[in-house]
Amino acid sequence: MKLREIQALLKAEVVCGEEYLDKDIEYAGASDLMSDVLAFGRAGLLLITGLSNAQSVRTADIVEAKAIIYVRGKKPDKDGIELAKKKGIPLLSTRLMMYKTCGLLFSHGIAGIPESEETK
Amino acid sequence: MNHGEENELTQTFDIQGGDFAHAGSVSTKIKEILKEVGIDPAVIRRASIVAYEAEMNVVMYAQKGTFTLRLTPGQIHFRIEDEGPGIPDIDLAMQEGFSTATEEMREMGFGAGMGLPNIKKNADRFLISSLVGRGTMLSVYIFLRPEENP
């Protein structure tokens, strides 16, 4: 699923990275705990989070996430946006809560992080 | 392969304890350096996770610290030394979920007791020593080729 379709599905605002909306997303993971993302994240994931400080963007860069979706209408601070622009990570913000965001994406074919990574 | 000093790269970064605004910036720089020298992306990813968790630990718990990257043809070595409270029980600190984090740390998305276990999981060699009231030293090796594994 293209990031652009995800944006439409979640009625999300593009905070930055309009030029990356044609990226293909296969799987996603949701957490507010960045250590969990670092432990279980996988390169190429779509990160769904309610943590809107710059650490969310740093974590996405470190694990090589393709994009971040902030839930509950949150948006990252200026430092986070600057870093995302520099690193080429698109940031989206949806008004939906995390559970609904995940449910919608899952029911539209976005998988979870592949099993082997979860049980490692 | 020449393992002489000309093929080594050593760089030391300072980390300021409590500086949450810049937390992670050393790891971002280290990742950029590893990319520039053309390290395998899967290795970079592991090394970056180690660097980030280690840097966050210094920011969260210590007064200050240094992060030394030493890159040789066979391995990446990180040495992270801090001046801080130290860890009274390392075995306990190594357990997933054990944490002494404050509310502020948790608001940053950290302090879930995953840091040290995460570092160990991504390292090929992991050494930790700590002196209560003085500080903590971490030494982490990540091998660039499996045959480097002693």
Domain span at residue A76 reads: 3-111
pLDDT above 90 for B89: yes
Q: How far apart are CA A19 and CA A21, in angstroms?
A: 6
Q: In DSSP terms, which residues pair with B81 in a beta bridge?
A: B66, B137
In a domain, A32, yes or no: yes
For A60-96, give one letter per residue: b (16+ CB within 10 A) or e.
Answer: bbbbbbbbbbbbeebebeebbbebbeebebbbbbbeb
Tokens 């698109």 found at: A90
Q: What is the pLDDT of residue B5?
A: 62
Residue-wise pLDDT for B95-125, tens only, equals 998 999 988 888 888 888 889 999 999 999 9
User: A35 and B110 in contact (C-beta within 8 Å)?
Assistant: yes
Report the chain B residue with the minimal C-alpha distance to residue A86: B28
Contact B49 A38 (CB under 8 A): yes
Asked whether residue A117 is assigned to any structural domain, the reply reads no
Q: What is the pLDDT of residue B146?
A: 62
- Angle formed at CA B148 by CA B38 and CA B45, multiple of 5 degrees: 40
Read off the pLDDT of each residue in B42-71 and give the average, rounded to a whole number: 96
**What would the mean pLDDT of B35-60 be, rounded to a whole number?**
95
Range of the domain at B31: 9-148
Instruction: Please indicate, yes or no, if residue B124 is contained in any of the structural domains.
Output: yes
User: What single DSSP character describes residue B35?
Assistant: H
Contacts with A, B 39-98, CB within 8 Å: 41, 45, 48-49, 52-53
Structural domain contains residue A73: yes
Could you give the number of structural domains in chain B?
Answer: 1
B4 backbone dihedrals φ, ψ, rounded to 5°: -70, 170
Q: What is the mean pLDDT of residues A43-72?
A: 96
Task: Give this complex's ipTM.
Answer: 0.85
Is residue B62 domain-resident? Answer: yes
Q: What is the CATH number of the domain that holds B88?
A: 3.30.565.10
CA–CA gap between residue B24 and residue B131 (Å, rounded): 25
- The residue among B19, B28, B105 with the most chain A CBs within 10 A of its CB, best to mutate, is B28
Across the range A93-115, mean pLDDT stands at: 95
Residue A19 has pLDDT above 90, yes or no: yes
Q: How many domains does chain A have?
A: 1
**Per the structure block, which two tokens stand in for B122?**
């991504």
Structure tokens at B79: 């040495």
pLDDT band at residue B1 using 50, 70 and 90 as cut-offs: very low
CATH number at residue A91: 3.40.1390.20
Q: Does residue B4 form part of some domain?
A: no
Is position A14 within any domain?
Answer: yes
Give the residue ranges of DSSP H helices in chain B.
Answer: 25-36, 41-61, 90-93, 103-107, 115-122
Would you say B126 and B49 are in contact if contact means Cβ atoms under 8 Å apart? no
Q: Is A101 contained in some domain?
A: yes
Contact B115 A35 (CB under 8 A): yes
Where residue A116 falls among pLDDT bands split at 50, 70, 90?
A: low
Contact in structure between B110 and B56 (CB atoms under 8 Å): yes
Q: Is the minimum CB–CB distance between B114 and chain A shorter than 8 Å?
A: yes
Q: Which of B23, B45, B108 sits opposite A64 (nearest CB)?
A: B45
Q: Locate A19 and state its tokens.
A: 């030029």
Of all residues in chain A, what percent carry a pLDDT higher than 90?
Answer: 87
* B142 exposure class (CB count in 10 Å sphere: 0-12, 13-18, 19+): buried
A84 within some domain: yes
**DSSP structural state of residue A113:** S
| Degrees, nearest 5: CA angle B71-B76-B82 | 95
